[in-house]
């Protein structure tokens, strides 16, 4: 279902060391709504591995990087593992709109991600030949592969 969503350079295993969130990025919580609205505005954009723009398509980390650059004025790497490293872990029940959800889809942690929009749902660019869409954390595919909830937003 998911094809190589880790983005360019996603094969650098071991660089995350558990992705403990040692980055220094802090986004003001006022930006949460902008992040969610920007992500929703990109629904139905096509999937393209390595993609990072609405006209050419997105992969999962390209979508996240584009959304945060355009809605929160925060540049992020085009790589799921690196984004995980820059963010801090939160509990699943602490998830709020604009936070990240990570999944183990390629037999390695942080190989797929999406932007949480509330009510157990997230926006993601899920697969080759697919389109940016909303999925549920309760979807059996994603529920089995859920890795962690993470955020860049300050408390």
Catalytic member of 60, 104, 107, 139: 60
56-61 contacts at long range (C-beta below 8 A, 24 or more positions apart): 57/125, 58/125, 58/132, 59/4, 59/5, 59/7, 59/125, 60/5, 60/6, 60/7, 60/112, 60/113, 60/114, 60/124, 60/125, 60/126, 61/5, 61/6, 61/7, 61/10, 61/113
Residue in 135, 148, 149 with CA at minimum distance from that of residue 2: 135
Catalytic member of 5, 78, 79, 112: 112
22 has catalytic annotation: no
Catalytic member of 5, 78, 79, 124: 124
- Residue 150 contacts residue 100 (beta carbons within 8 Å): yes
112 has catalytic annotation: yes
60 has catalytic annotation: yes
Active site (catalytic) residues? 60, 112, 124
């Amino acid at each position: 279902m998911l094809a190589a969503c880790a983005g360019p350079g996603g094969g650098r295993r071991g660089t995350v060391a558990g992705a403990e969130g040692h980055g220094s990025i802090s986004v003001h919580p006022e930006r949460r709504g902008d992040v969610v609205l920007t992500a929703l505005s990109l629904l139905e954009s096509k999937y393209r591995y390595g993609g990072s723009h609405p006209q050419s398509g997105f992969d999962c980390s390209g979508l996240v990087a584009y959304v945060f650059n355009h809605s929160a004025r925060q540049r992020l790497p085009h790589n799921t593992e690196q984004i995980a490293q820059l963010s801090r872990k939160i509990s699943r029940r602490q998830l709020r709109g604009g936070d990240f959800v990570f999944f183990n889809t390629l037999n390695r942690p942080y190989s797929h991600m999406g932007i949480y929009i509330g009510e157990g749902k997230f926006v993601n660019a899920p697969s080759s030949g697919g389109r940016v869409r909303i999925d549920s954390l309760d979807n059996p595919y994603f529920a089995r592969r859920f890795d962690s909830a993470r955020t860049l937003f300050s408390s």
